[in-house]
Structure 1
Amino acid sequence: MSKKARIQEIELLRGMAFLAVALQHAIAHYSVVGGVRMEDGVIMTLLLMAAKFAVPVFIFITGMVLFYNYDGPLRYGTFIRKRFSDVLVPYILWSAVYFGISQHWNLGSPAQWGKWAMMLFTGKNSYHLWYVVMIVQFYILFPVFRMLIRRMMKAAPHRLWMILLVLSGLAYLVLLYFRPEIGALLAKADIPFLTPFFNAYADRNFVYFTFYFILGAAAGMFPERWRWAVEKGGVIYLPVFMILFGYYTYILVGSFQMSDGLQINFNLVSLLRPLIAVFLVSSVFVIYRFALQWTRQAGPRAERAMSLLGKYSYGTYLAHALMLRFTYSFDAWWFAGWNVALRMLVSFIICVVLSYLLTVALSYLPFGKWTAGVSSLRKRTSPPKAA
Structure 2
Amino acid sequence: MSRKERIIEIELLRGLAFLAVALQHSIAHFAYVEGVSFGDGVIMTLLLVLAKFAVPVFIFITGMVLFYNYDGQFNYLSFLKKRAKDIIIPYILWSFVYFSLNYGWQQGWMGQSWKWFTMLFTGKTSSHLWYIVMILQFYLLFPVFRYVINKVRIKLSLWACIASIVGVGLLYVWLTGQVSAIGKMMSTVEIPVITAMFTKYADRNFLYFFFYFVLGACAGIRPDIWKAWIRRGRWMYISCFIILTVYYLILVTGSFRTPTGLQIGFHAVSLIRPMMVVFLLSSICVVYMLASWMKGKGERRYNTFILSIGKYSYGAYLVHALMLRVSYIFDMAWFVQWPIILRMMISFTICVLLSYLLMLLLSRFTWGKWLGGVPVKKDGIELYKLQDK
C-alpha deviation, 1:305, in angstroms: 2.7
Structure 1 residues 225-255: Cα deviation after superposition (integer angstroms, max 9, x where no partner): 1000011001211111111100000011100
Amino acid aligned to 2:321: A
- Structure 1 runs not aligned, ≥5 long: 382-387
The separation in 2 between residues aligned to 1:379 and 1:111, in whole angstroms, is 45
C-alpha deviation, 1:108, in angstroms: 6.0
Structure 1 residues 94-130: Cα deviation after superposition (integer angstroms, max 9, x where no partner): 0000001011235962111100011111100100000
Q: Is the 8 A contact 2:294 2:303 kept in 1?
A: no
Q: Is the 8 A contact 1:238 1:286 kept in 2?
A: yes
The separation in 2 between residues aligned to 1:307 and 1:339, in whole angstroms, is 31
C-alpha deviation, 1:364, in angstroms: 1.3
User: Compared with structure 1, are the counterparts of its residues 48 and 302 closer, same or farther at alpha carbon in structure 2 (3 Å cutoff)?
Assistant: closer
- Structure 2 runs not aligned, ≥5 long: 382-389
Show the counterpart of 1:281: 281
Show the counterpart of 1:40: 40
Structure 1 residues 125-183: Cα deviation after superposition (integer angstroms, max 9, x where no partner): 10000000100000010010000011112222222111111001000011111111111
Would you say 1:374 and 2:374 are equivalent positions? yes
RMSD between aligned residues? 1.6
Q: Is the 8 A contact 1:13 1:288 kept in 2?
A: yes
Show the counterpart of 1:61: 61
Q: Is the 8 A contact 1:364 1:377 kept in 2?
A: no
User: Compared with structure 1, are the counterparts of its residues 180 and 90 closer, same or farther at alpha carbon in structure 2 (3 Å cutoff)?
Assistant: same
The separation in 2 between residues aligned to 1:258 and 1:336, in whole angstroms, is 27
The separation in 2 between residues aligned to 1:97 and 1:132, in whole angstroms, is 15
Show the counterpart of 1:210: 210
The separation in 2 between residues aligned to 1:351 and 1:153, in whole angstroms, is 43
Q: Is the 8 A contact 2:134 2:206 kept in 1?
A: yes
The separation in 2 between residues aligned to 1:241 and 1:336, in whole angstroms, is 35
Show the counterpart of 2:320: 320
**2:133 counterpart SS class:** helix
The separation in 1 between residues aligned to 2:322 and 2:305, in whole angstroms, is 24
Show the counterpart of 2:355: 355
Q: Is the 8 A contact 2:362 2:373 kept in 1?
A: no
C-alpha deviation, 1:366, in angstroms: 2.6
Q: How many residues align?
A: 381
Show the counterpart of 1:235: 235
Q: Is the 8 A contact 1:63 1:217 kept in 2?
A: yes
Q: Is the 8 A contact 2:67 2:220 kept in 1?
A: yes
The separation in 1 between residues aligned to 2:244 and 2:15, in whole angstroms, is 24
The separation in 2 between residues aligned to 1:258 and 1:299, in whole angstroms, is 45
User: Compared with structure 1, are the counterparts of its residues 34 and 135 closer, same or farther at alpha carbon in structure 2 (3 Å cutoff)?
Assistant: same
The separation in 2 between residues aligned to 1:307 and 1:236, in whole angstroms, is 28
User: Compared with structure 1, are the counterparts of its residues 258 and 171 closer, same or farther at alpha carbon in structure 2 (3 Å cutoff)?
Assistant: closer
TM-score where L is the length of structure 1? 0.95
The separation in 1 between residues aligned to 2:284 and 2:133, in whole angstroms, is 22
Show the counterpart of 1:128: 128
Structure 1 residues 53-106: Cα deviation after superposition (integer angstroms, max 9, x where no partner): 000000000000000000001011111100110001100000000001011235
Q: Which moved more, 1:258-267 or 1:231-240?
A: 258-267
The separation in 1 between residues aligned to 2:291 and 2:245, in whole angstroms, is 19
The separation in 1 between residues aligned to 2:33 and 2:302, in whole angstroms, is 37
Amino acid aligned to 1:349: T
The separation in 2 between residues aligned to 1:332 and 1:260, in whole angstroms, is 28
Q: Give % identity.
A: 52
Amino acid aligned to 2:21: V
